[in-house]
Amino acid sequence: MSYRPKFHLSAPQGRLNDPNGMTLIGDELHVFYQHDPVFPHAPKRTGWGHAVTTLGDGTWRHFPDALYPGMPYDENGCYSGSAVVHEGRMRLFYTGNVKCEGVRFTSQNIVDVEDLQGPMGGVYRRRPNNPLIDGSPEGYTAHFRDPHVSFDPDTGTWRMVIGAQREQETGTAVLYTSPDLDNWELAGEIEMIGLNYNVASAYMWECPNLLRMRDLTRGEDFDVLVFCPQFPDSDQCGYIVGRLQGLRFEVLTDFTPLDYGHEFYAPQLVPFGQGALMLGWMGLPGRDETPSLESEGWVHQLTLPRELSLIDGSLHTSLTLPQNPTGMVVARHELGAEPWSADLIDTGGNVGARLQWQPSAHGSHTLSLAVNGLMRWAHCDAGELVFTADGAAVELTAGGGEVAFSSAVFPQNGHEWKELQVR
């Protein structure tokens, strides 16, 4: 038995982390991801892996790595970024990382892509005039990375949001604008108006995503900013909803976790219908010691593709399940007025994860997921729970997609997952 999931993207070898450059062409989803193929046996050399799936099929086909360190501006890593297909041309935007005598240098760069759907998965050419953005603006440290590019329908131009750290070592997001995707100007730091959640103490905001989405309840369009504030004792991931006018983000929905499980970070979103399609990294910085690394030479995986809908100011999640989920445990249960609990059981009878639903007469119902004695919980409405276990990847949604959980759970002693057994 292998820990490797069948329907969750994992690297052929080495270390996988952030999803990058998600691109949907018809029903084919191309996903790039942070990939260090030599981990943990050699010095770090993070580039971009590349795989493709057909939505609804769920299996992944791997291509050769698209990017790897090798230029003076990225010799210590091709860090995270995004992709844009416009007028038949595909561009990748990524952060180049350089470390020299203990000092970090950062840059934002463009890669032109040809023949993406060809047998080798594309031809990748860095722009000869890279870096596009050399260094960080005045007032910010070299922790300046993860460009996410999206179209601004209000102005008919493009906007690039970058995760940043101020010189005072506090986190924020910085905005650039462009009329043509090739020439970019600094607009400035995004100012959050009405943000009550205390992200001021975060020392860095990583992996920002900025998209326009239609609220299906209110019938209005809103800006959604997803980002990962890093604190001295935790790494979080969540979103805010509001309206971005220039550099002023009027917050209507305060910072809300995007996932309540044990392993979820650095998601990437792309427009999909009136909402978005998303994949997240089922891992966290610094959590690399896993059974899969020791026995099989790979570590971490991505979530299933998730469809996100904006409903009355909140993001709701729907898992994109494979049409033929053979080899995956899939269970559904209607959570209601009665308490409910269940265990994920492997073929040896071992318990890998425990679920518990505790309804409340006051409407504050609680769903919890416990793995290795560590519990995560969230409040949600009654409604359908959808549970999946695929190799080491466990995901679930509940309350009609109001909450989602992602956790890495490893079967014991070579067993496979058997069922979600009600207690």
Q: End-to-end alpha-carbon separation of the chain, Å?
A: 26
Closest by Cα among 328, 340, 396, 331 to 366: 340
How far is residue 28's CA from residue 59's CA, in Å, rounded to a whole number? 11
Question: Could you tell me the two tokens for 241?
Answer: 């909803």
Catalytic residue among 18, 223, 259, 390: 18
65 among known catalytic residues: no
**Cα 305 from chain centre:** 10
Catalytic residues: 18
